[in-house]
Amino acid sequence: MFKLISDTFNINEIIDSSSTEVLMENEFTLPDNAPDIEKIISAEGKVKINNSSVMQDKVIVDGTLTYNIIYRSNDEQVMVSSASDKIPFSEEIPFEGAAEGMEAQDEAYIDYIDAEQLNERNYLIKAVILLDTDVVNKHPVNFVSNLESDGTFQAKTKNIKYTDEVTLLSEEVNINDAVELNKGSDEIAKVLKAESEVFITNVDTLDDKMLVEGTCKVGFLYTENNNLNSTGYVSEEFPFTHYLEAKNSNDDMLKDINVKLNEMTYNVAENYDNEKKLIEFNLPFTVNAALYNTVEKNIITDCYSTDCLLDIESQNVNVTSLKEIIDKTVKYENTFDVVSGSIKDIYTVDVSPKISEKKVFDNKYVVDGFLDINILYLNGDINKIDKAYSSLPFTASIDLKENQLTSDIASNVKITKCGAYRKGSNSVIVNCDINVGMKLRNKDEIAVIANITEAGTVDRSKMPSLVFRVVQPGETIWDIAKNYNLSINYLKELNDIPADNELKTGSKLIIARLV
């Protein structure tokens, strides 16, 4: 006879992961009031996931690519201009084992984007979007944690650790401000390109609140209202502080804090001198915070009885324990030469990473890849805006402690604080921060017993009174005792078994039938 004691724990089980390419080719026509295209200088974009739906054996991801092109024109009044638009996309990704009720976790990256001029009024946008998708099954698991018996019940237990998501917060922050040109600048004719980035500088836990401090940087490339139609660039940084309500939080919890940029809006306005030298902007971004507790549970993974047969309901589940969340920054600097003309001034620099390999090597976590670098500059030979491109190798290496080497490591790479300055008339020195965010996890597949019922009495009448058993490779004392419905202590009484219960392959055990 026995009495079961049951418990429950919640798991986030990763069903499968996928990396998918979305190919896009879309033709566009300039608005009627836009000047003709002489030459397209640059094409850039941002991608956003709008919705992910998990269905039977598939995931449907809907998103939007927002692009911006800058081009030169033969129009003497508007020698450089820009055009932008949004391209929606929908991708169906096969996922064996996916089902309604599960959750898709997506990240989207632009792997490639370019614009091809078709004629003076039409152009083609070509892009490759990378979708990294995990299908996660968040569900409770019922299990037998303990039991009360008369001594006939034999159980194998295991102490497991898993990560429980205690709190999930998401709040939008808006930075409403303005940047102003200096006194010596001409007025703004048109904004050609707007860029922004937000990065966290500090996180503190204060009672039931989390203080998130950071910096947002905005920059605007514009044409000046003068006879030369010259181009200018202005940027500025704005600090921010935001409090998140995080009840029941403590310093021992693992915290995953990140920011996600939303679409910035802006307009050109007049300053106090009634000059169009002011750019007012609204920069919304979302602060996401996940707080985790590590929970330990003792579970029964296998069992049998010495006097009755058992029906056991069990399942295999993947249990993930999040050990650490690490953010490391690697400083980067490199040089390349422009192939067209001379550099008179540098306006903007965009850097995006392309990852070749992630590995643990020589007690380090190493990320290898290339940085795709695009700069817009004033070409001194023609006194017009131009573009330079280079793909430069990088290696980000993070030291690991001894206990971190065996962890499963999931990571992402982001580039922040990009800058560029000229070296001579033809070389550019580029610098940036390579931010590597790492989640160190332990994964374990375990057998979980949900219920146990009696299914009859053990029949020992057909068992020989005495058996000499040769231990097979990989066989344990538990396996043999369970096979003959005998207690481990009984086998140890009959045989010279060491205290650690380790059996040597080929050794012989005496097994006597119970009367």
**What CATH number is attached to the domain comprising 498?**
3.10.350.10
Residue where the block lists tokens 């069990």: 314
**Euclidean distance between CA atoms 174 and 202, whole angstroms:** 18
| Strand-pair category, 427-457 with 466-470 | unpaired
Same domain, 128 and 181: no
Same domain, 110 and 33: yes
Residue where the block lists tokens 């499968």: 16
Same domain, 300 and 353: no
Same domain, 131 and 155: no
Check the CA dihedral 182-187-191-193 and report its sign: negative
**Euclidean distance between CA atoms 413 and 367, whole angstroms:** 9
Q: Exposed e or buried b for every residue in 473-505, given b needs 16+ CB within 10 A?
A: eeeebeebbbebbbbbeebeeebebeeeeebee
Cβ-contact 343, 349 below 8 angstroms:
no
pLDDT of residue 37: 96
Tokens of 89: 């996309």
pLDDT of residue 515: 61
pLDDT of residue 280: 97
The band of 1, judged by pLDDT with boundaries at 50, 70 and 90, is low
Tokens of 22: 């979305």
DSSP state of 274: S
Q: What mean pLDDT value characterizes the chain?
A: 91
CA distances in angstroms from 190 to 120, 259, 268, listed in the order given: 21, 29, 8
Tokens of 241: 């502080």
CA distances in angstroms from 48 to 201, 375, 411, listed in the order given: 24, 23, 20
pLDDT in tens, 237-270: 999 999 988 877 777 788 899 999 999 999 999 9
**Euclidean distance between CA atoms 106 and 100, whole angstroms:** 16
Cβ-contact 342, 425 below 8 angstroms:
yes
Which comes out higher in pLDDT, residue 460 or 188?
Answer: 188
Same domain, 273 and 159: yes
The band of 196, judged by pLDDT with boundaries at 50, 70 and 90, is very high
Same domain, 234 and 253: yes
β-strand partners of 242: 212
Q: Distance of alpha carbon 399 from its chain centroid, rounded?
A: 20
In a domain, 42, yes or no: yes
DSSP state of 126: E
Tokens of 386: 């131009």
pLDDT of residue 205: 81
Same domain, 288 and 359: no
Last residue of a domain, one of 95, 130, 145: 145
Q: Which of 150-154, 369-373, 472-476 has the lowest mean pLDDT?
A: 150-154
Give the DSSP H or E segment for 212: strand 209-224
CA distances in angstroms from 213 to 195, 208, 241, 242, 250, listed in the order given: 21, 16, 5, 6, 18
Cβ-contact 303, 312 below 8 angstroms:
yes
Same domain, 430 and 394: yes
Compute the average pLDDT of residues 481-494. 90
Which comes out higher in pLDDT, residue 188 or 184?
Answer: 188
Same domain, 430 and 502: no
Q: Smallest Cα–Cα separation from 445: which of 323, 324, 315, 298?
A: 315
Same domain, 296 and 156: yes
Is residue 146 scored above 90 in pLDDT? no
In a domain, 300, yes or no: yes
Same domain, 275 and 261: yes
In a domain, 352, yes or no: yes
Tokens of 282: 């609204």
Owning domain of residue 466: 459-512
β-strand partners of 382: none
Q: Smallest Cα–Cα separation from 64: which of 83, 43, 44, 87?
A: 87
pLDDT in tens, 439-462: 998 888 888 898 888 888 888 887
Residue where the block lists tokens 């200018």: 232
In a domain, 110, yes or no: yes
In a domain, 128, yes or no: yes
Q: Smallest Cα–Cα separation from 438: which of 364, 341, 348, 338?
A: 364
**Euclidean distance between CA atoms 483 and 505, whole angstroms:** 17
Tokens of 111: 């792997």
Residues in CB range of 387: below 8 A, 6 or more apart: 41, 42, 374, 375, 376, 377
In a domain, 320, yes or no: no
In a domain, 27, yes or no: yes
Cβ-contact 350, 428 below 8 angstroms:
no
**Euclidean distance between CA atoms 244 and 280, whole angstroms:** 27
Domain count, the chain: 4
Same domain, 177 and 298: yes
In a domain, 448, yes or no: no
Number of DSSP helices (H) and strands (E) in the chain, helices first: 2, 21
